[in-house]
Each structure stands twice: as structure tokens, then as C-alpha cells.
Amino acid sequence: MHPPLTLHRHPMCVEIIEQFQKCHLEHPIAKFFGDCTDLKVKLDRCFRQEKAVKRKANFEESKKMKERLQAIRKEMTEENPQMQA
């Protein structure tokens, strides 16, 4: 099963999505017997790569947020030493 094939949500996989949808339109019965399977495998790989890129970007953003939060906490404890957590 794959996520919805909306082109604007999957910019890395646009070409493969279009080929996959075209295959399904051109082979309405044969698609059930594996005619579009090779494109499905490519699409799955593309989605995995896309997810890895997003995961890495989210991790980097999370790292920056943690650093900012630690800096704020440090600043607050330096200003008011009674507020140690």
C-alpha cells in the first residue's frame, strides 16, 4: 500500500507517479497480474528515499530546537540562580 499519489506532496517522485498512473490507465486488467509491478517497486523506493530525506531534515531541526532551548535555560539560570530545575 502506498500513500495517496498527489504530485504536490511528493516532489521527488513526480515522474514515477505519472508513469505508474499511466500504466494503470493503459492496462486496467493486466495491472492486477503484475504488469505495473516494476513501477510500483520504483515508487516504493522513491517514497522510502523521500521519507529518509524528510526524517533527516526533521532531526536536524529538532537538534537546533534543543540547542536553542538549552541556551535559553542556561541564560535563565544565569540571570536568576534560584530557578534551577
Contact call for residues 42 and 16 (beta carbons, < 8 A): yes
- 2 occurs within a structural domain: no
What residues have CB less than 8 Å from 18, skipping those under 6 apart?
A: 7
- Per DSSP, the residues of the chain read ------GGG-GGGHHHHHHHHHHHHH-TTGGGGTTTHHHHHHHHHHHHHHHHHHHHHHHHHHHHHHHHHHHHHHHHHHH-TT---
- 31 occurs within a structural domain: yes
- 3 occurs within a structural domain: no
Successive 10-residue mean pLDDT values, the chain, 85 residues: 77 91 92 91 94 96 96 87 63
Total domains in the fold of the chain: 1
- 66 occurs within a structural domain: yes
pLDDT value at residue 11: 86
- 41 occurs within a structural domain: yes
- 42 occurs within a structural domain: yes
Q: What is the pTM of this model?
A: 0.71
Structural domain boundaries enclosing 72: 13-79
- 51 occurs within a structural domain: yes
- 5 occurs within a structural domain: no
